[in-house]
Structure 1
Amino acid sequence: MERLRTLASWREFAQSTRDAGRRVALVPTMGALHDGHASLVRRARENGDVVMLTSFVNPRQFNDTGDLSRYPHTPVLDADLARDSGVDALVTPTLEEMWPDYPADTLTTVSVRGLGDVLEGVERPGHFDGVASVVAKLFVLSGPCRAYFGEKDFQQLVVVRRMVRDLSFPVEVVGCPTMREPSGLALSSRNSRLSATGRERATALFRALRVARESTAHVSERRALMTEVLRAANVEVAYADIVDVDTLRPLSDGDLRPARALVAGFVEGVRLIDNAVIDLEPRS
């Protein structure tokens, strides 16, 4: 596994891969790797791609400096997991190269209006501007590639797909299924901050989604059911919604469009998110 620490070496590796007739696979991460990230690498390797995994904690997507300071950093373990998963190049750029003006404002920002300012964007203003800006830079540096993202961060996936569509990036975005613990808890770097009791309470997010998925009630009733399950587990609810998969707009009773249920809440002060496909077609 190659270790790339400069933007120049990153560009050179990607271009030489294409020159050799191979396709580049980009797996963007913020480190603190787990099997969810490894599953993205496995998917890329199954497609025969040369895998570049980036590990960069992007400060521009944190509107809470405390949340940024608490984000887990495990560089040695990350390198081991990347190597064992079959990563071809681990990219760890410096903050100075990625955002030369930081902590002063970077004047250029990519914003996907209407998608980045709802749901997570309501309580985390500017979060998806930071996400879109850093992902755009990753795409510019990597060049034509496939980019692999987990569906656990479904809103992020929608934002990135729209950005690629609108700005004509030569990138194929591949969404990959959420990896879960046996309890149903979605794998997340933030789970490391939970106690054993907290992890048990956090399974309420998955249970809320399961209730909504299995219900045949109207959308409004399914929203209420999700909220009820979360509150019963003492999860501080940020939102529990059912939305259109492309626009992220809340659906109404009677809507039969492709739908996604999304939930977010706080357990032991840690913000957690999850989502699931919801079938709104009447069942016989």
Structure 2
Amino acid sequence: MQLLQTLAELNDWRREQVGRPLHFVPTMGSLHQGHQQLLQRACAAVPAGRPAVLLSVFVNPLQFGPAEDFDRYPRDLAADAALGEAAGAEALFAPSVQELFPGGEAQLTGVVPPAALRQSLCGPGRPGHFEGVATVVCRLLALVRPDRLLLGEKDWQQLMILRRVVADLALPLTVQGCATVREVDGLACSSRHRYLRASERDQAAALPAALGAAQALWREGIASAALLSASVRRDLEAAGLAVEYVQLVQPSTLSPVTTADGGLVLLAAAARCGSTRLIDHLFLMNRPPIVAIDGPAGAGKSTVTRAFARRLGLLYLDTGAMYRALTWWVLHQGVDPADAAAIAPLLVDLDLQLESDAGGEQRVQVNGHEVSEAIRGPEVTAAVSAVAAHACVRAALTGQQQAMGQRGGLVAEGRDIGTAVFPEAECKVFLTATVAERARRRAADLAQRGFAVPPLAELEAQIAERDRLDSTRAEAPLRQAADAVELVTDGLGIDAVIQRLVDLFRERVPEDAWPGPGAP
């Protein structure tokens, strides 16, 4: 691993990495298992290839208050370099204050995050702290210019503030949060634990224990922020800790909430154990997350949604396959797809089954008929918009879908998932592509399935007409939900689209709340 201590050395190293994605883990040193996991995650390959991984160590004077521990903050660059190299970092950037702030701290342009994100949790007790964090991280990002910035979820408020700063300044990188790493006694890993005397370790462990006890109360039906906070405060004080705050907040805005019964919330606390300041949190989520992926026909939703759901350990609900299966049944019964009155009786006792086979592929049955391949044929494709437009059809299938989603833990894709079926979904994406791109993909799919392939111009006309029908129908028209993120997939491979979906999901559902499969 290369040690870089000057801006010139950093620039030379960066030039050697041209053509590789660059992942960056900024720290203040005194590295521990949490930093080790961040570096290991940073080393993971991405669709763009194997990344170059840069670790930085810089004890930032801007984020310490006058009475805080800047002078005694633990520093051991040799140990940090050994851990970083073992975890896979290719270079360590460890500049001096003079190197990073050549004009002096007083001459540095400061970055001030939104006040709303600094008014709760650690903000009031550490005036100027998050301004110092945001300023030095922006300085580092400008010098390093990474593709991906990896931060721990343990410092949740810091993560939310830096995400907001990156978004507001339109910095061209992805911010990735990684799950909190804990020691054997449950204490969240922190460099400041080195301050704890042996006699204070048991006291410090009371913090995660108190939060866990409050979580148990919440599971028993106690949702009041006042009662949950009082429980945590009481347990911390009983252990001899000096409580700074206990708060229940909305995770992304950090604004206080009064109850923990309206979706994902964050219960956070800070306390002092002797001279050591401790912070910790946990998430309260009343059901597993739901992801709604909408978009026009032929945008590739089914392919990426299936893989995305598998990666996150969520169930895959292909609502489009449900409409196609019903359309197949309508045609099979010789009913006119435009005749709602004739279709309505077919909805009575309709038996639709969606299952995954041993290879993870979805199998579809309707009233005992295996139709997985048949529903992708041109005849069904041509008729499905007409069938889906009927109010009786939308009501019947929406009811089935919502019943499937009552327990959460699923990814659903279709035309109106985020607007009509699951408007309360934690993550909403409008996945689309240009008409030309969708026509090209449709031609390739038809050829692969052994169907005749019309001219591209004809396919483009069909897709454009389908878009018009879907977006103008009276019942649940195709449109992007107000809180959905548009993802245009032209020029993106499947793996790149999946990674983008994962990143969007993690902006809304942290790993601490939903670890996903294979998590420790």
Query: For the superposition of Structure 1 and Structure 2, which TM-score range results when normalised by the shorter chain?
Result: over 0.9
Work out whether residues 29 and 57 of structure 2, in 8 Å CA contact, stay in contact via their aligned partners in 1. yes
Map 1:73-222 onto structure 2 (within 5 A). Answer: 73-102=75-104, 105-113=106-114, 114-216=116-218, 217-218=222-223, 219-222=225-228
Does the 8 A contact of 1:266 with 1:272 survive in 2?
yes
Distance across 1 between alignment mates of 2:140 and 2:270: 27
Asked if 1 retains the 8 angstrom alpha-carbon contact of 2:22 and 2:147, the reply is yes
| Equivalent-residue separation in structure 2 for 1:272 and 1:253 (angstroms) | 25
Q: What is the DSSP-based 3-state SS (H/G/I as helix, E as strand, rest coil) of the residue aligned with 1:97?
A: helix
Q: Is the 8 A contact 2:149 2:176 kept in 1?
A: yes
d(CA) in 2 for partners of 1:66 and 1:245?
Answer: 27
Unaligned runs of 5+ in 1: none
CA offset at residue 145 of structure 1?
1.5
Q: Which of 220, 241, 246 is the matching residue for 1:240?
A: 246
Superposed displacement of residue 44, structure 1: 1.0
Instruction: Return the offset for 1:228.
Output: 1.1
- Alpha-carbon offset, residue 197 of structure 1: 1.7
Distance apart, 1:211 and its partner CA? 1.8
Residue aligning to 1:273: 279
**Range moving further from structure 2, 110-119 or 238-247:** 110-119
* 1:5 and 2:11 are equivalent in the alignment: no
Question: The residue matched to 1:221 in structure 2 has which SS?
Answer: helix
Aligned AA (2:226): S
Matched letter for residue 213 of structure 1: Q
Taking a change above 3 Å as real, the CA distance of residues 280 and 210 of structure 1, as seen in their structure-2 partners, is same
Where relative contact order (Cα < 8 A, 6+ residues apart) is larger, the structure is 1
The share of aligned pairs that are identical, in percent, is 39
Deviations 1:14-42 (A, max 9, x none): 3431x2x2110100000101111010011
User: C-alpha distance in 1, partners of 2:58/2:80?
Assistant: 12
What SS does structure 1 have at the residue aligned with 2:182? coil
- Structure 1 position 273, deviation (Å): 0.7
Q: State the Cα RMSD in Å.
A: 1.8
CA contact (8 A) 1:117 1:125 kept: no
CA 1:63–1:254 in 2, change beyond 3 Å: closer, same or farther?
Answer: closer
Residue identity in the other structure for 1:192? R
How far apart are the structure 2 equivalents of 1:221 and 1:46? 42
Tell whether the 8 Å contact from 2:260 to 2:284 is kept in structure 1 after alignment.
no
TM superposition shift of 1:280: 4.7
Aligned equivalents of 1:90 and 1:266: distance in 2? 32
| Structure-2-length-normalised TM-score | 0.52
Per-residue deviation, 1:175 = 0.5
Which is greater in Rg?
Answer: 2
CA contact (8 A) 1:212 1:278 kept: no
Please state how far the C-alpha of 1:254 moved relative to its aligned partner. Answer: 6.3
Paired position in structure 2 for 1:28: 26
Map of 1:16 onto structure 2: 16
Q: Deviations over 1:78-111 (max 9, x none)?
A: 1111111111000001110212344x52341101
Aligned residue among 72, 75, 80 for 1:70: 72
Moved more, 236-245 or 217-226: 217-226
Stretches of structure 2 lacking an aligned partner (at least 5 in a row): 288-406, 408-520
- CA shift for structure 1 position 208: 1.7
The letter of the residue matching 1:40 is L
CA deviation vs aligned residue, 1:113-152 (integer Å, no higher than 9, x gap): 2213432121110000000001111111111421110111
Report Cα offsets for 1:145-185 as digits up to 9, x if no partner: 21110111000000000001100111111101111111001
Aligned residues: 280
Residue equivalent to 2:506: none
Write the letter of the residue equivalent to 1:94.
S
Alignment partner, residue 226 of structure 1: 232
TM-score (norm 1): 0.93
Letter in 1 for 2:25: V
Distance 1:75 1:215, change over 3 A: same
Contact 1:151–1:175 (Cα < 8 Å) also in 2: yes
**Which amino acid in structure 1 is aligned with residue 168 of structure 2?**
D
Tell me if structure 2 keeps the 8 A contact 1:128–1:156. yes
Inter-CA distance 138–221: structure 2 relative to 1 (3 Å threshold): same
Tell me, yes or no, if the aligned pair for 1:35 and 1:187 is still in contact at 8 Å.
yes
| Distance across 2 between alignment mates of 1:11 and 1:260 | 40
Q: 1:3, CA displacement in angstroms?
A: 0.9
SS at match of 1:163: helix
Looking at structure 2, the residues matched to 58 and 117 of structure 1 have their Cα atoms a distance apart, in angstroms, of: 22
Query: 1:273 and 1:106, CA in 2 relative to 1: closer, same or farther beyond 3 A?
Result: farther
